[in-house]
Chain A
Amino acid sequence: MTLQASSFAAVGLPSLAPRLCRSRRGPVVRAKVEPSEKSVEIMRKFSEQYARRSGTYFCVDKGVTSVVIKGLADHKDTLGAPLCPCRHYDDKPAEAAQGFWNCPCVPMRERKECHCMLFLTPENDFAGQDQAISFEEIKESTSNM
């Protein structure tokens, strides 16, 4: 899956972003914070292990898997814990400390419910056959983000 990273819309609010000079090489890419490779690797290994342990499978679209793994890694970097990336929080540090939504979250542990589509039970329409994903695969799937 080619992930489309553009946020087409956000809402119209005034921008204080500094105007970037138009580079001759083409559009200037605004630096996007990427999770550390170390954390991505940790969360990748965790995901493979947990999928096997729970009898769940990755999404047919490995791009989804890759994005979630990176999201978990990003939270691990910034919060110290892999807080679920598919949720909106009032207070992320508080949530990370509390733990309900730290991966594997309580809904997953209790009912195998993963709304991130990271761990899918075999009967799920989106479930693929894999319980493995390589670092390269993650990198390629998210290269255009």
Chain B
Amino acid sequence: MAISLSASSIPRLSGENPAASSSMSPLRLRLPAGARGFGGGARRISVNSKPRGFSLVVEAKKQTYNSFDDLLAKSEKPVLVDFYATWCGPCQFMVPILNEVSIRLNDTIQVVKIDTEKYPSIADKYKIEALPTFIIFKDGKPFERFEGALTADQLIQRIEDSLKVKQ
């Protein structure tokens, strides 16, 4: 069973026809055929942490990932990772903001979200404590990190400053 990473925008948020929209939004995993998540057609998968020859397919780019490390290694753009938890208020507050930032900074950065309760080992690896924690990965390595909710403009400013200055 392949998992698709879809780059289409999220219908409920934008209110637009996803087929008509060519904008990129945060990568989300999409399961084929039956397995569905909740809330507006969004998908969620529960996985165990050992890759078993399974692959992730990104619909837009036809890339295959075996793990988070693989995703980082294969990304052509810097990656903004949002470490979050379901019942973390500020994390939920950031959901529409990240969507907007992902669209506005489409060419600059790729946005990925990680549920720290589903992937505790990844959260441990990067010593995540407060949520949300954002880490900008460049060339597969953590480049900058910061915690807490912020507005879309603040986040964009933060990302642009970070990528510009430390070039």
Residues of chain A having any CB pair with chain B under 8 Å? 1, 3-22, 27-30, 32, 59, 61, 63-68, 70-71, 74, 85-88, 90, 115-118, 126, 144-145
Contacts and interface: CB of A to CB of B under 8 A. Distances in A.
Interface residues of B, number: 77
A113 B52 CA distance: 43
A6 to B, nearest CB: 3
Instruction: Give the secondary structure class of B's interface.
Output: loop
A88 B128 contact: yes
Contacts of B25: 8
Interface stretch (B63-71, B135-143, B156-164): B63-71
Nearest to B123: A88
Given A6-B28, A13-B48, A88-B129, A65 B39 contact: no
A5 B42 contact: yes
B91 A86 contact: yes
A11 B42 contact: no
Contacts of A10: 29, 44-45, 47, 113-115, 118-119
Pick the 7 closest A-B CB pairs, nearest first. A6-B42, A71-B87, A12-B56, A8-B28, A14-B54, A64-B89, A68-B89
A6 B83 CA distance: 14
Contacts of A63: 89, 92-93
B120 A17 contact: no
Contacts of A13: 47-51, 54, 67-68, 119
A21 B5 CA distance: 21
B116 interface: yes
